[in-house]
Amino acid sequence: MRVRTAGWYCVTAVSLAAAAACAHSAPAPAPAPEEASAAAMNGAAPPNAMVGTFDLQAVIQGRTIPAPQPAPPRRPPRGRVVTVPLAALVQLTPTPTAAPDPSVPSSIQLRAEVSLPGYTMPPRGRTTQAAVWWPGSGDSVTVRWVTPRKAAVTLRGRLRGATLRGDVWYTLLESGSEFQLGTWTAVRRRTGR
């Protein structure tokens, strides 16, 4: 007759529990809402209403950008060239960005182009700077780009009809400090312009 100790029963119980756990694994936890929306959009196009080119106007620290320009004279004086001020615009595309920004809180990152005089620095020969954008819940949209000053500028807003409107935020990348610069409005450009 063989005597079994209490230790043998504990080891056997643990072994049986482990075998049962392997045979019947628990279901995977449900993804977080952000991951679920990202998974839903990965194969789908972003909302078509948000894709396009918008003429941008911002009011930053009480200053309107771009500043309203007086009408140019019909003919410039002899020997003078009329300069056209830089236009402020934001262009949202349905194309995923080639290099996603790890600091962006969304896994959905699409290509955008932005021109906001004083806050963008386009490469030589270009009029716009690369940015990323992502749709939020409902009709919200966020556009973000990084400046050479180790800061990020973010446009957060909502789409109403053909107009995007919201707040301009400035983030210092080294410290993470963020503050509101002002407000912005962007109106969809009509095609055939």
Domains observed in the chain? 33-72+85-188 (2.40.128.120)
Dist. CA 70–CA 43, nearest whole Å: 47
**pTM tops 0.75:** no
Tokens linked to 91: 């262009």
- Residue 178's closest CA among 191, 165, 164, 167? 167
Specify whether the CB–CB gap between 115 and 88 falls below 8 A: yes
Q: What proportion of the chain, given as a percentage, has pLDDT over 70?
A: 65
Residue 31 has pLDDT above 60, yes or no: no
Would you put residue 139 in left (φ > 0), alpha (ψ -120 to 50) or beta? Answer: alpha
Predicted local distance difference test score (pLDDT) of residue 143 = 96
Predicted local distance difference test score (pLDDT) of residue 87 = 80
Q: How confident is residue 19, by pLDDT bands cut at 50, 70 and 90?
A: very low
Dist. CA 66–CA 58, nearest whole Å: 7
Q: Is 109 exposed, middle or buried (0-12, 13-18, 19+ CB in 10 A)?
A: buried
